[in-house]
Structure 1
Amino acid sequence: MRSILILIILFMFISCKEAVLPKPAAYLSLEYPKKEYKKLAVKRPYSFDVLKTTTIVDEDNNWLKITYPNLKASIDITYRPVENNLKELLTEAEKLVFKHAVKAAQIIPKDFTNAKKRTFGTLYEITGNAASHLQFHVTDSTNNFIKGSLYFYAKPNYDSILPAVAYIKNDVLQLIETLAWK
């Protein structure tokens, strides 16, 4: 019995020759195409720049869907005329944003004002495993109101899609900055 115990202890010391090292952290190497923008080709009461690699889906009521086929994502744009109902339109847009508060870790608003172009709005960045990670609305406060939402065609996993959200966020900022009313 004693010899078996000595053999087991001896075997344990002899069997491990190399020190076990933990694997280094791995990061995805994501490469996105260089951005080139073009003017929206669809006739609407508004215009803005869109990424050339996106596909525009024309919908009724001056609505649009800007799709990112390679990222399996879309920005859904809804248009509503302002008819003495700006307060209701703003309230409705904010309700849709804060519907995500249950799953969101944080909702970060950023206001935009361009008096020269008559564009006033807010971009909401929603962190966490919410269904939509970017939402925005822009208005001229008298005639036009646009609301947009970013959706991915996958189960929300914020850590996995964060690089794609950041990539599309720049396109949303470009859209807001180049928005012009007709």
Structure 2
Amino acid sequence: MRLSYPEASYSKSDLDVPFTFNKNSFATNVGLKKMAGQDNYGVNIEYSNLKGTIFLTYKNIDGDSISLMKFIKDAQNFTQKHTIKADEIVEQVYINDERKVYGMFYEVGGNAASQSQFYVTDSVNHFLTGSLYFYTKPNYDSIFPAAKYLEKDIKQIMESVTWK
């Protein structure tokens, strides 16, 4: 059985947050939640047809290099917790000097709870992390096509992030 998904069509997000990104029109809902702390937000990009969500968390670091290092370490540790179930974790560095976006994308293979995770920052004021989760028990063979489709959306988010 071959699963097919529509060709991705991206448009700029229009949320009241300190960054913009391109989102796929295939997403069925984009929710925004103000979190504890100044300028901290959660954004959920839901794909009900795929029974999955990309969860974004934004934190304002306001020039605090200690907080930045803590957030990066937390993001890396969060990904490494999946090594229990993951067959492999492939890291891909992301650098865009023009837009001042630097980060890491993690592709998690195997029956882990999350197949893709990332973080990006400008290294001074902004930190954004994201994870992909499906509403089903992790079975890599079954969710692989959807995970690959949404991996492209996650990379599009990383590549299109612009800080306000």
TM-score relative to the length of structure 1: 0.83
The superposition leaves residues 52-87 of structure 1 with CA deviations (integer Å, 9 ceiling, x where unpaired) of 121101112321000001000000000111133111
SS at match of 2:55: strand
* Structure 1 or 2: more helix by fraction: 1
| Aligned counterparts of 2:87 and 2:155: Cα–Cα separation in 1 | 22
Between the two structures, name the one with larger relative contact order (CA 8 Å, sep ≥ 6).
Answer: 2
> Is residue 72 of structure 2 the alignment partner of residue 72 of structure 1?
no
Percent identical residues: 39
| Aligned counterparts of 1:90 and 1:113: Cα–Cα separation in 2 | 15
> Is residue 105 of structure 2 the alignment partner of residue 131 of structure 1?
no
Cross-structure match for 2:7 = 34
Provide structure 2 residue ranges, at least 5 long, that are not aligned to the other structure: 36-40
The superposition leaves residues 103-137 of structure 1 with CA deviations (integer Å, 9 ceiling, x where unpaired) of 00000000000001000000000001000000000
Cross-structure match for 2:42 = 63
* Structure 1 or 2: more strand by fraction: 2
Alignment equivalent of 1:112, drawn from 94, 101, 105: 94
Larger Rg: 1
SS at match of 1:149: strand
One-letter identity of the residue aligned with 2:8: K
| Aligned counterparts of 2:72 and 2:32: Cα–Cα separation in 1 | 24
SS at match of 2:15: coil
Q: Which runs of 4+ in 1 moved over 6 A?
A: none
| Aligned counterparts of 2:2 and 2:113: Cα–Cα separation in 1 | 25
| Aligned counterparts of 2:34 and 2:26: Cα–Cα separation in 1 | 23
| Aligned counterparts of 1:155 and 1:60: Cα–Cα separation in 2 | 29
Provide structure 1 residue ranges, at least 5 long, that are not aligned to the other structure: 1-27
| Two-structure CA RMSD over aligned residues (Å) | 0.8
TM-score relative to the length of structure 2: 0.92
Cross-structure match for 1:6 = none
What's the CA shift for 1:46?
0.5
